[in-house]
Amino acid sequence: MFLATTLSFENIHSHGELFANLLRARHRTFIVRKNWDLSQANGMEFDQYDTPASRWVAVHDDMGEVYAGVRLTPTTHKCGIYTYMIRDAQRGLIESIPSNLLYEQAPVASHIWESSRVFVTSEVTSKMRFRVQMQLISEMVRTARECGAASILGLIPENSPRLARRVGLDCQPAGPALKVAGEDIRCVTISMSTKMH
């Protein structure tokens, strides 16, 4: 049985090791398995966008083992020179992501949130994968709506829009298909106004 929990700096203390386990699962996924060159400490992956402004969705079991996750950040967020990942990539602040990732200027609006660091761990079997993805997507949508988002801007694997459409989400390309760290990715806009199946 999988559970879905949204973490914030306000409720992190209520969930034991769950936040640390999420960062550990990100470490296993992005640094160990995908070999990405990212910030890490004590077996956890993190970056400058893991701030009190963000929310983190974790799909996990009742022991706190994390199987999937995503980070949500308001596009209005600013901390020093940083805002949010997609906008900072467009501004040339992130070497590993091309600056031409969007067709238009990156938005700064309270009703638009960014999703980043989307993952499903390799421990999830192909039989369970769709169910885990569904839980992750539905909790992400619920949380985004609760935070006042009308849409989400995300940098996702290029085949993911098919999954979004399959569950009834309106997912539109917001930028060209790109290859980053050996993966085919693209920016998309996901509308929060549609009902999921």
Beta strands in the chain (DSSP E): 3-7, 40-41, 44-45, 55-60, 66-74, 112-120, 151-157, 170-173, 178-180, 183-191
Angle at CA 137, nearest 5°, toward 68 and 195? Answer: 170
For the full predicted model, state whether its pTM sits above 0.75: yes
- Of 94, 76, 75, the closest CA to residue 174 belongs to 75
Query: How far is 86 from 127, CA to CA, in rounded Å?
Result: 32
- pLDDT tens digits for range 153-188: 998 887 776 777 777 788 899 999 998 878 888 999
Q: How far apart are the first and last CA of the chain?
A: 20
- pLDDT tens digits for range 82-104: 999 999 999 999 998 999 999 99
